Amino acid sequence: MFRTIASQLALIIGALFLIATLALFQWYFHSSGQFADEVEQTLHRDLASFIIHDDQKLDQGIIETENLSSAFHTKMLLGPEWELYALDTQGRILAYSAPEGAVKLDKVNIKPIENYLSGQPLPLYGDDPRILDTQKIFSVSPIIDTSSSKVNGYLYVIIGGQKRDTISALLSSSKVLKDGAFILATTIIFALIAMLLAIIVITKPLKRLSKRSLEYVHNDFKGMNESQKLGFTSKEINDLESSFIKVADHIKQQLSQIKTTEQLRLELLSHISHDFRTPLTALNGYLETWLIASENHRHAELIELAHKNGLQVNQLVEQLFELARLESGDIQFIPEQVNVVELAYDVMQRLRYQAEKQQVTLNVQLNAKAYQQNGIIAYADISKLERVLVNLIDNAIRHTQASGKVEIEIIDYSDKVAMNIIDNGKGIQKDELSAIFEPKYQASNTQGTFSNAGLGLTIVKRLLEMHNSIITVSSQPGVGSQFSFDLTKVRLT
């Protein structure tokens, strides 16, 4: 029932208002009663003194119990709200105006009387002899013996009698208090209603945001792109909505990446399964053929073909392992000063046998003067840069026809060293250029039974990203391709 913020705030504030109202009314009636008592006690401050002066014997300091009872009864007829008591100096009651048997005390506390006579601020309350444990305003005056100036006792007058013993009686006796109580109650009710309306207005945007959030989830994290401000909305709620929209956008991007990654993973598994199955099937076929053939027909060619398929499986496993380590960040990057010209010649020499088999010419093109003087030095991880060059040149050799050419062009700039791997091979279709660096993608120019596993360029891209370098490609079918990247140069003095 009270599960929404608005209802919970309304319940809490309503309870607080109720408590505050009760406390406020209690204080109001208490203070109003005290004020009324102060006014009435002030007006009747000399009441007891007037009654003493009006009675000849009391005025002379003579206290006669029998005569006082009759005199008190007569004065009660003039002021029925008063209760008169004659006390001795210790506060014991000697005579009173109340009906017989109505007085419950035989002695009143003398301390309030002393405070009254000493001029303490009003109102002052003294014991009511007719009601136990009850105090009321009073008027008191000492009864003094005129011959000796000795205080023989006190005339103690309870003001108001039994008339104002309850709040209802207090209200019934004062129109001002009634009007004040009505205004106070009206103000509190109005404040409560205003607070409840404010709660509804403030929490409405939260309710709307909650509804939008559920719709966003039910719509598969779509359709929450901008804030919708309706009416009065606080800055904090606007900030909350903006933050949620940013979070929603981030979640949407993450989900898109997850879906894309999952799709790529499934495609990669499919391609890997196919790549493993093809050479393994061929490998087993050649070996089985060799085993079942007679010794006279066990040609070495079968073993060579089996060995070639085994090498292809081994290459695929190595590339998968390397790519996995690159993706997980498990490979350390250790940059150092590398002479890129010497490294280029080393890679060309390493791949020269493969190029000669393909009848492809390898060449390194560079600024010979700069190299002869100081060399061309760049910051790089030499093993990873060598892997990049081997993959790119190997890829270029495989896609270049006989009598073709593959070269490494090294351009020396002031702060960079640019490296271009250029071939005049088959080239790549324009619509395929943006996809060739994706895992397992094979361009349409890939031919042959033992095609590359499709991970080489992906590995190249990841390795160059570790060097803070981006690889680019330009190609034209039938003309050739150029793969380019640059490295930070070391300035030699």
- Rounded CA separation 128/160 (Å): 11
- Main-chain dihedrals φ then ψ at residue 472, nearest 5 degrees: -125, 160
Give the pLDDT of residue 225: 58
CB 273 within 8 A of CB 265: no
CB 419 within 8 A of CB 463: no
Which fold, 219-331?
Helix Hairpins (1.10.287)
Which fold, 45-158?
Beta-Lactamase (3.30.450)
Q: How many CB atoms lie within 10 A of CB 126?
A: 24
DSSP 409-478: EEEE-SSEEEEEEEE-SS---GGGTTTTTSTT---TT--SSS---S-HHHHHHHHHHHTT---EEEEETT
Give the pLDDT of residue 194: 80
- Taking Cα atoms as reference points, which of 199, 268, 269, 205 lies closest to residue 237? 205
Its CATH class, for the domain covering 336-488, is: alpha beta
Tell me where in the chain the CATH 1.10.287.130 domain(s) lie.
219-331
**Residue 190: exposure state from Cβ atoms within 10 A (0-12, 13-18, ≥19):** exposed
CB 143 within 8 A of CB 58: yes
Give the pLDDT of residue 449: 39
CB 381 within 8 A of CB 467: yes
Give the pLDDT of residue 452: 47
- Rounded CA separation 242/237 (Å): 9
Give the pLDDT of residue 450: 41
Per-residue pLDDT of the chain (493 residues; tens, 9 = 90+): 556 666 767 777 778 877 887 787 777 777 877 887 888 888 888 888 888 888 778 888 788 776 676 666 656 555 667 888 999 999 999 888 777 788 889 999 999 999 999 999 999 999 999 888 888 999 999 999 888 889 989 999 998 755 455 555 555 556 666 777 778 778 878 887 887 787 777 777 777 777 777 777 777 666 665 555 555 566 677 777 777 777 877 787 887 778 777 776 676 666 666 566 667 777 788 788 878 877 777 777 778 877 877 876 776 777 677 667 766 666 788 899 999 999 999 999 989 998 998 999 999 998 655 555 557 899 999 988 998 999 899 989 989 999 999 999 999 888 899 999 999 998 888 888 877 887 655 555 554 434 444 678 888 898 899 899 999 999 999 899 999 999 999 876 6
Tell me where in the chain the CATH 3.30.450.20 domain(s) lie.
45-158
- Rounded CA separation 79/97 (Å): 11
Give the pLDDT of residue 437: 82
Tell me where in the chain the CATH 3.30.565.10 domain(s) lie.
336-488
Single pTM value for the model? 0.44
